[in-house]
Amino acid sequence: MECRDMICLIHEYLDGDTDELANLQLQTHIESCVSCRQHMHELQRAIAFVQSASHIHVSSDFTARVLAQLPAPTKANLLSGWLRNHPFLTAAAVFLFLMTGSVLNSWFDQDDTLQVSSANLDKLKIDRERNVVVVPAGTNINGDLVVRNGNIDVQGHVTGNVVAIEGKVFVASTAQVAGNTESIEAIVDWIWYEVKNIGNDLLPILP
Least distance (Å) between residue 53 CB and other proteins? 5
- Evaluate the CA torsion angle 150, 155, 156, 157 in order and state its sign: positive
Q: Which is nearer to other proteins, 56 or 202 (CB)?
A: 56
Least distance (Å) between residue 32 CB and other proteins? 21
Contact in structure between 29 and 7 (CB atoms under 8 Å): no
Q: Which is nearer to other proteins, 83 or 191 (CB)?
A: 83
Contact in structure between 186 and 169 (CB atoms under 8 Å): no
Strand, helix or coil for residue 125: strand
Least distance (Å) between residue 143 CB and other proteins? 55
133: part of which helix (H) or strand (E)? strand 132-135
Least distance (Å) between residue 30 CB and other proteins? 16
Least distance (Å) between residue 90 CB and other proteins? 16
Least distance (Å) between residue 22 CB and other proteins? 15
Q: Which is nearer to other proteins, 80 or 117 (CB)?
A: 80
Q: Which is nearer to other proteins, 61 or 201 (CB)?
A: 61
- HEC profile for 153-206? EECCEECCCEEEECCCEEECCCCEECCCEEEECCHHHHHHHHHHHHHHHHCCCC
DSSP states of 66-100: HHHHSPPPPHHHHHHHHHHH-HHHHHHHHHHHHHH
Q: Which is nearer to other proteins, 71 or 204 (CB)?
A: 71
Q: Which is nearer to other proteins, 16 or 207 (CB)?
A: 16
What is the phi-psi region of residue 119: left when phi exceeds 0, alpha when psi lies from -120 to 50, beta otherwise?
Answer: alpha
Residue ranges binding other proteins (CB under 8 A)? 8, 11, 14-15, 39, 42-43, 45-47, 49-59, 62-63, 65-67, 69-71, 73-74, 77, 80-81
